[in-house]
Amino acid sequence: MSQADGALAADGRVLIVGASLAGLRAAESLRKEGFRGRLTLVGDEPHEPYDRPPLSKQVLTGRVASGSTALPQAGGLDAEWRLGVPAVGLDRAAKRVVLADGDELDFDRLLIATGTRARPWPNPAEAALDGVITLRGRDDTELLRRELTAAPRRVLVIGAGFTGSEIASACRELGLPVTVTERAATPLAGALGATIGAVAARIQREHGVDLRCGVGVTALEGDDEGHVRRARLDDGSTLDVDVAVVALGAQRNTEWLRGSGLGAGPRGVACDAGCRVFDMYGIVTDHIFAAGDVARSPHPLFGYEFLALEHWSNAVEQADVAAHNMVHAEAERRPYLHVPTFWSFQFGVGIKSVGVPSLAEEVVITQGSTDERRFVALYGQRGRTVAAVTFDQGKWLEFYLDQIERAAPFPPQFRTVGQPPSPRVLPTEFPDPALPTEAPMIVRTGHSPTERAWTLVPARGGRR
C-alpha cells in the first residue's frame, strides 16, 4: 500500500460526518494509509459504531444482546469523537461543518458518510402511536424487542423488503402471529423481481406468515392510551394488531447539505468513481468525498449509471477507496469498482446476491430448483449477465461474480452440476418504479450527477 505523503498527511484535518460502518472504516483506513493529522468523527447517535445487520435478526430473537454488536475498532485510531450531535450545515467556501449544538469544525478533507434512516410512517399522528416502530438503529431494536416480548396478539409488518421479511422471520421464530403487507406482487420484489419474489412468498407462508401482497395499509388506529390496536387495509379489511413495524425502506440523510451547493438530494450524494462529490452543476469538488449508503456513484460495469448501494460490503469497500483518495495525489487515486453484493438470512434460508438484479429483464434458474427452495437464479440484461441470486447455494457465487465481471452472455450456455432438466428464461417482473414499495437495496439513480428531482412518497391508499 502506498503511504500518504505531504503536508496533509502530516498535520491536515480530516472530518468524517457519519460514525457508522463507513465512517469508522474510513477512519481506520486513513490511519493505515499513513494519515497522521487530526481526525474527527461526527455521529448523530450517542453510540460508538455498531453493526446493523444483526438488529433485524439475532438481536430481535434475543439470541444476541443489542448492546453487544459494537464494531471492533483497530487500536491507535487516535480520533476525536463527537457522538450524539448531528451535523446541520456545510460551508464549502470556509471548509467548515456546523453541528446542531452550534459548534463549527474546520476541515481540509471532508467525508460524507451520513447513511440512511428508516422511512417513517407518512401520517405523523399514527406514527407517534406506541407500538408503531421503524427499525434502523440499536434503540429502535430495543423498543421493538420490548413490544415483541410483551405477548402481542399479532404483529403487523408493513413492507416485505429484506428488513421487513427478516423481522417477520424473527417474529415467527418467537412464535408470534404475524401479518406482512406488501404493495408489490411478492416480498423482495423491488430487490429480486416478483418471479424470484414468488419463491420468497411461498417460504413466508410455509413458515406461518399471513402474507398479503398487492395490499397497502391505509390507517393505523390506537386505543385510549395511544397504543396501536388496529390497522385498516386498502382492500377494506381490518386487522387487530398490537405492534406495527413500518419497513418501507430507507431515506438518505442529505438534508443537512441543503444550501451547500453540493449535488445532494433524496437520491443521495453524487460522487465520481473516486468518491469525490459533485457540486450542483456537476463539477467535481476537490476536498469533499462520500462513501456508504448515502453515496451514489457511476459504475463502469453497469453502463456508468449512478448506483446507490445500501449494503454492508459497499460501506466497507467504498470507505477504503474514499480514504485512500482523500490523502493521495491525483495520479495515485483508485477507482471504486466493487460489484454489489449482499446477503440476508430469513426463515432459515440464506439469500445472497451479486451484481445488480434490478437492471435485468430476464431471469433463469441455472442450478437447483425453486420447489426445493435451493437454487441459483441468473439475471440478464440485453443478452449479458448482470446479477446472480442464490437461495442456500451461496458457495457458487464466486463463479457467477466472475461471469458478471466478464459480462458473460445471457442466457448461459454452459453445463453445470445440479442443472434443471429444461431451464426456462422468465421475465424478472420488477415492480413499476413509481410503485411505493419496500427498499430495493440497490437504487438506480440515473445517469446525471445532479439528478435531484426524484422523490418517493409512500401512497396513503386511495379507498379510504
Interface residue list for another protein (CB under 8 A): 366-369, 372, 374, 376, 393, 395-399, 402, 414-418
Specify the residue, 222 or 412, whose C-beta has the smaller distance to another protein: 412
Please choose, from the candidates 138, 129, 120, the residue with its C-alpha nearest in 3D space to the C-alpha of residue 60.
138
Question: In the bound complex, what is the minimum distance in angstroms from residue 403's beta carbon to another protein?
Answer: 10
Q: Look at the block and give the residue holding cell 449535488.
A: 263
Residue type for 263, please?
G
Nearer to another protein, 111 or 404 (CB): 404
CA angle 343, 127, 254 (to 5 degrees): 60
Taking the C-alpha atoms of residue 444 and residue 387, their distance in angstroms, rounded to an integer, is 14
CB of 343 to another protein, least distance (A): 16
CB of 369 to another protein, least distance (A): 7
> Least CB distance from residue 376 to another protein, whole Å?
8
Beta strands 132-134 and 243-246 are parallel
| CA distances from residue 380 to 100, 267, 293 in whole angstroms, order as listed | 47, 25, 25
Q: Is the CB of residue 325 less than 8 Å from the CB of residue 333?
A: yes
Nearer to another protein, 295 or 389 (CB): 389
Min CB(402)–another protein separation in Å: 7
Select 401 or 435, whichever has its Cβ closest to another protein: 401
Q: Crossing angle of helices 138-148/162-173, nearest 10°?
A: 40
Give 179 or 366: the residue with its C-beta nearer to another protein. 366
User: Minimum Å distance from CB 395 to another protein?
Assistant: 5
- Of 275, 390, 259, whose CA–CA distance to 321 is shortest? 275
CB 428 within 8 A of CB 357: yes
Shortest separation between residue 347's beta carbon and another protein, angstroms: 16
Please give the Cα distance from 107 to 90 (Å, whole number): 11
User: 165 or 367: whose CB is closer to another protein?
Assistant: 367
Contact, 355 vs 408, CB < 8 A? no
Cβ neighbors of 366 (< 8 A, separation 6 or more) are: 376, 377, 378, 412, 416, 419, 420, 423
Cell numbers standing for residue 45: 447517535
Q: Is the dihedral of CA 286, 288, 291, 294 positive or negative?
A: negative
- Cα separation of 135 and 335, whole Å? 33
3-state SS of 269-292 is: EEECCCCEEEECCCCEEEEEEECC
| Shortest separation between residue 201's beta carbon and another protein, angstroms | 22
Of 202 and 373, nearer to another protein (C-beta) is: 373
Nearer to another protein, 76 or 462 (CB): 76
My answer on whether omega of the bond before 122 falls inside 30° of 0, hence cis, is no
All 3 cell numbers of residue 170? 424473527
- Write down the least CB distance from residue 375 to another protein, Å: 10
The CB-of-367 to another protein minimum distance in angstroms stands at 6
Contact yes or no for 49/57 (Cβ under 8 A): no
